[in-house]
Amino acid sequence: MSTATEPSRLAEARPAASLCLALLTAVTVITLCRIFPDWDYLRPMLAFAIGLHVIAFVLRVVRAPLWVALPSLLLSMFLLIGIIYYRDTLSFVFPSGRTVELMRVDLRLVIDQFATAVAPVPSEGSFATATATVVGLCVVLSDTFAFRALGQVEAVVPTGVLFVFTSALGTDRYRVLMAVLWIGAALATIAVLRFANAEQEGGWMGSRRVTFAAALPAIVLTIGAGAVMAGAIAPRLPGAGEKALIDTRNRQGNVTEVLSPLVDIRARMKNRGNAELFTVQSDDGAHYWRVLGLPNFDGNSWSPPEEDLREMGDRSNEVLLPGRRVSQVYTIKAMGGPLVPAVFQPVQVSPDAVFWADESDSLVLSGDSLERDDVIAVASLVVDPTIEQLRAATVNGAEQVYYELPGGVPDAARDLAAQLTAGAATPYDRAMALQGFFRDNFTYDLDVQLGNSNDAIEVFLRDRRGFCQQFAGTFAAMARSIGLPARVAVGYTPGDLGNDGLYHVYGRHAHAWPEVWFDGIGWVAFEPTPSRGNPDAAQYTGVAPQQDDSRGTGGATGGPNQSTPSSVPGGINEPGITTTVPGGGRPGEGGPGAGSTTLPPVSNGGGSSDSSIIPFVLLGGVVLLVLWILLAPRVIAALQRPRSRAPRDRVIAAWQRACHVMNVAGAPPVGGATPIEYARTAEASVGVSHVTVRELAVQVTRAVYSPAAFDETAAARCETLEDDIDAFCRTITPWRLRLRALVDPRMMRRRIVG
């Protein structure tokens, strides 16, 4: 065809194509609502994405070459992220060293927590900025594929991968609506790019000479039909309303699930919030049901020690202060693992198969896991220190591990702890100053990053939002930085008091809190988490009993807890009487010597095991391979081939490509043979049609040696002959070579440019 009209066609359609590509990105950003809990992410992320599209459009208007445009877009992406998400750290309008450091912190947090994160994730902070970075890369790739490599379907692949990925991992809200919106935007983008990047004039959607205005009704009709079909038919397909094949949200859980003290805590509160874990019959009302103490902090997570277990017996004489004796009976419903809940400090337990771990002050079912309907009776001594006793106590007698902090704890946390406690006269007053700071200046929010790593501490202090995991871990780390021996405790708030007189403890009642050691008193619980209050600590913390009384509706606060009847079967509240479980109990069947005598390790790191990462690595590898196969040929062609070539050059390139495919199919290398000679060799070697290959050989000989000019018709004929040779050689080329040709960039380049 004549190229005289091509510039005007491209000039007419490319602004519309740019607009459609920006619209597709905007719709993709909107569909991210399925991985965020609210719409707070939307405005900044849309501003970022549209701004980057505008910059890409300007670079094309000024005709910046790819080697200039691509670095410019990446630099613009970095600057826009700084301006939009890290405005307070900028130096004038440019990122500072502090900006770069916070970006690195956020990126490390997302990498560490990605495999264990469960949607919805925070709409502000690390996950939001990381998602914006991915959106920015999609913009850069889409613009490059659409307007540099002249792709059509390829241009929607980057945002398509992001849409599919977030749809698989996101919540169910707006599922059909988001799919319809994205499909419509993708169809519009492909249709307009097809028009903008068309290289030959001819029939397109029923018209021989096409303008964008003439094609617009057909585009709109196609998009509308596709979107309506997606919205009307997809929800009615077989299995559309069924549970996902891969349950990324772990909604169900089961009785064999082991408590991972800090990583698992939010999953229990959100995804298993309405799952009843156990019930408690308590003789004196509500308490925190403590499970485990975590003394070790390595800069990434709090973890339990490795320690031997011992038979429980009667520990009453080991409690440092006199306390009131309370009794509870725990009936397991859906709580797995070996760790047994108890009021702190437990002194007797039945059955004898439950052992004691000294360093974590925990009850452990030795060599077994809790199962449904297991019944365990526990007697505890609750110590009620007065404020005067706490103010008079020193904090020098704890083991060294409770004072230790690893390297890398943020200076901001150390400095803030010292500043907050500068006027506190006693260790108790310092602990209360830290507690008051968190309760008065922070917001309780489940939709934040997981983890207690050094990076997570810095982000938590910056954003001032979090849930019990961040409050407890940061309190303990800051307490250690000012000389207070501290650890993190994990367990449950009292639960819901039912008409049956039992406390029903659900996943939403999972909780973590810090404990501080006082000489002569022992471990004392504090409560830095807003909307939470320990019934046994109110007299010295000044915090009224509180918990999540939302009954699964998403609330976070509640009023003071009520008491249960002050009686419990089994007589465990009577000193000197051996504790028994009414009607027996499965844990006792194994006997006191059953199983291991070592506290089993409990995973609570910020990351995940290698096995949990493997599916994501494999999925990522498959996606990258598909993207490479689809996009690499066009990118290579765009980088290697001139934008416009004379017909003579096109003939020579067609011959070179034909020689390459014949060589792959089994013909010998060209060597020093003339085109006519090589045509005979190839015909004998691979059986290619002599008419086709000899005609192409004659044409390329003319192109090289004849002074006569070639026209567009002759060049197009040679390219058709090359296509015929390519199609034949595909049928006889071994599949291994065909597969290699799809992924080997050297073979791609020879096939594309000769």
The DSSP call for residue 599 is P
Which runs of consecutive H residues, i.e. helices, occur in 670-734?
Answer: 675-686, 690-705, 712-732
| Average pLDDT for 610-627 | 59
- Are 415 and 452 contacting, i.e. CB atoms less than 8 angstroms apart? no
Question: SS3 letters for 456-523?
Answer: HHHHHHHHCEECHHHHHHHHHHHHHHCCCCEEEEEEECCCEECCCCCEEEEHHHEEEEEEEEECCCEE
Average pLDDT over residues 440-467: 77
The pLDDT of residue 483 is 93
- Look at residue 55 and tell me whether its pLDDT is greater than 70: yes
The whole-angstrom separation of Cα 66 and Cα 361 is: 63
Give the pLDDT confidence score for residue 667 in this predicted structure: 81
The model's confidence at residue 732, banded by pLDDT at 50, 70 and 90, is confident
User: In terms of domains, do 223 and 354 share one?
Assistant: no
- The answer to whether 354 and 592 are in contact (CB under 8 A) is no
Last residue of a domain, one of 555, 590, 625: 590
Residue 552 in domain: yes
In a domain, 426, yes or no: no
CA-based end-to-end distance of the chain: 23
**pLDDT tens sequence across 325-341:** 999 999 998 887 888 99
Q: Looking at the predicted structure, is the pLDDT value of residue 15 above 60?
A: yes
Between 554 and 725, the more confident residue is: 725
Residue 220 and residue 274 in one domain: no
Model confidence at 164, in pLDDT bands (50, 70, 90)? confident
The CA distance from 430 to 421, in Å, is 5
Question: What's the mean pLDDT when you consider all of the chain?
Answer: 75
pLDDT in tens, 472-488: 989 999 999 999 999 99
Domain around 353: 263-387+488-590
203 and 277 together in one domain = no
Shared domain check, 126 and 32: yes
Structure tokens at 121: 């994730």
Same-domain status, 168 and 273: no
- CB hemisphere CA count around 598 (13 angstroms): 5
Residue with more model confidence, 673 or 578: 673
Q: Which residue has better confidence, 430 or 681?
A: 430
User: Does 549 fall in a domain?
Assistant: yes
Pairing between β-strand 443-444 and β-strand 465-466 as defined by DSSP bridges: parallel
Distance CA 36, CA 121 (A): 5
Distances (CA, A) of 302 to 153, 364, 525, 674: 48, 19, 17, 74
Task: Please confirm whether the linkage preceding 699 is cis (ω < 30° from 0).
Answer: no
- Hey, is 135 helix, strand or coil? helix
Comparing 28-32, 90-94, 604-608, 721-725, which segment has the lowest mean pLDDT?
Answer: 604-608
Q: Does the structure show a pLDDT above 80 at 233?
A: no
More confident site: 559 or 661: 661
Strand runs labelled E in 186-309: 276-282, 289-294, 296-297, 302-303
Please, what's the largest Cα pairwise distance for the chain? 115
User: What per-residue confidence (pLDDT) applies to 251?
Assistant: 40
Q: What is the pLDDT of residues 703-717, one digit of tens each?
A: 877 767 678 888 888
The count of structural domains within the chain is 3
pLDDT for the residue 685: 80
pLDDT at 437 over 90: yes
Q: Is residue 424 part of a domain?
A: no
Same domain, 569 and 655: no
Nearest to 385 by CA among 439, 328, 320: 320
Of 590, 620, 649, the one marking the end of a domain is: 590
Q: Do 64 and 202 fall within a single domain? A: yes
Do 494 and 367 belong together in one domain?
A: yes
The answer to the question of residue 416 being in a domain is no
pLDDT score at 370: 86
Q: Are residues 352 and 291 in the same domain?
A: yes
Q: What angle do CA 502, 504, 507 make, to 5 degrees?
A: 165
Q: Are residues 581 and 653 in the same domain?
A: no
- Per the domain annotation, does 628 fall within a domain? no
Do 293 and 224 reside in the same domain of the chain? no
> Among the ranges 264-278, 303-317, 370-384, 627-641, which has the highest mean pLDDT value?
370-384
Higher pLDDT among residues 590 and 464, named by residue: 464
pLDDT above 70: percentage of residues in the chain:
69
Number of other CB atoms surrounding residue 174 within 10 Å: 15
Question: Is the same domain home to 580 and 650?
Answer: no
Task: Please name the helix (run of DSSP H) or strand (run of DSSP E) that holds residue 303, with its range, or none.
Answer: strand 302-303
Q: Is the residue at 632 inside a domain?
A: no
**Domain final residue, candidates 238, 272, 291:** 238
0.85 surpassed by pTM:
no
- Look at residue 419 in the predicted model and tell me its pLDDT: 93
- Mean pLDDT is lowest, of 77-81, 400-404, 737-741, for 737-741
- Lowest mean pLDDT, pick from 171-180, 237-246, 417-426, 454-463: 237-246
CB-based contact 472:514 (threshold 8 Å):
yes
Residue 269 has pLDDT above 60, yes or no: no
Residue 623 lies in a domain: no
